[in-house]
Structure 1
């Protein structure tokens, strides 16, 4: 690698999506390393410190939030973007607290991610504040997702804490994909 190369870590357990992202970023001049889990990322970080990272929030065995934390511990200047198929205020707040620079809902493409990498870290005070009330379904989803996070994405324990049948929760989760 030369000094001008950009090293990107993709932490994603969906092989097809990770492959698509990898190819797209490589065409844009990035060198890409990949991990499917927090453990694989830990091994990669022993040899590489990426300049950029794309982290899926929901990995097979764990939350991508632990990956965000591990990446931030390696570099204060790394640009970290979290991708999720089930965006919620709770996970957005936690991702930013742990060191993510940006949080994008899937489907996001390479253009969206690269734009997030280049955004100013200071924030934008000109963003319009919307007075829209959250719907009951949105509030329910936020509460479900917060409880999922608290239980480490354990569906049975989440259902128990929410006082609902596990199958009811599973159906709700199927309607709003977790990836």
Structure 2
């Protein structure tokens, strides 16, 4: 059984590489290179999986995450970027993305993210038990999510977050006060 996947990417060479790899793993891939084409493709083809490159030639895909989520509430949406930052990751998760991956990425990391059930540990309304999360708490939770996706591997997590390994270790030692991490 093939799984329908929509890839929104403006780099044709990268898109072809990703589609070739995913086709070998049972995905039927459709490629578009703009936000408007992505929304149209979601209406016409009903993909189960959506991969979004964050920065397209003239636009960003952050603005279409919420509309895509509305059109395809059960699709798995993953944001891909070569310009990773924790702030952008938190924004993407708040807008409705299920995961956030840094480029370059290997096939196994991508497959793990696609096959994972919704892994977001950041509440989409930034609240846990009636308390609003601080930026530090949201960052802590996102780091924990990425660490869990990397099976506790600090080096792989630091690479994915575009962060020095020691910086990540310091952040992990400084758990924000009043935070309850839910896994």
Q: Above 0.5 in TM-score? A: yes
Question: Out of 40, 54, 63, which is 2:37 matched to?
Answer: 40
The total of aligned residue pairs comes to 130
Q: Using the alignment, how far apart are the partners of 1:47 and 1:70 within structure 2? A: 15
Structure number, greater radius of gyration: 1
Partner in structure 2 of residue 177 of structure 1: none
Counting only pairs closer than 5 Å after superposition, residues 26-175 of structure 1 correspond to structure 2 as 26-122=23-119, 123=121, 127=148, 131-132=169-170
Is the alpha carbon distance of 1:35 and 1:59 closer, same or farther for their aligned partners in structure 2, counting shifts above 3 Å?
A: same
Q: Deviations over 1:41-79 (max 9, x none)?
A: 122123111101111011112111123223211222211
Is the alpha carbon distance of 1:69 and 1:24 closer, same or farther for their aligned partners in structure 2, counting shifts above 3 Å?
A: same
Considering Cα pairs closer than 8 Å and 6+ residues apart, tell me whether 1 or 2 has the greater RCO.
1
Q: Using the alignment, how far apart are the partners of 2:80 and 2:7 within structure 1? A: 11
Do 1:81 and 1:113's aligned partners in 2 also have CA atoms closer than 8 Å? no
Q: Which runs of 5+ in 1 are unaligned?
A: 134-179
Structure 1 residue matching 2:77: 3-state secondary structure? strand
Q: Using the alignment, how far apart are the partners of 1:26 and 1:121 within structure 2? A: 22
Task: Give the Å deviation of 1:117.
Answer: 1.8
Q: Deviations over 1:18-45 (max 9, x none)?
A: 0101111111111111110101112212
Do 2:49 and 2:75's aligned partners in 1 also have CA atoms closer than 8 Å? yes
User: Cα RMSD over matched residues?
Assistant: 2.2
Task: Give the Å deviation of 1:120.
Answer: 4.1
Q: Deviations over 1:134-158 (max 9, x none)?
A: xxxxxxxxxxxxxxxxxxxxxxxxx
Superposition TM-score, scaled by structure 2 size: 0.64
Do 2:43 and 2:71's aligned partners in 1 also have CA atoms closer than 8 Å? no
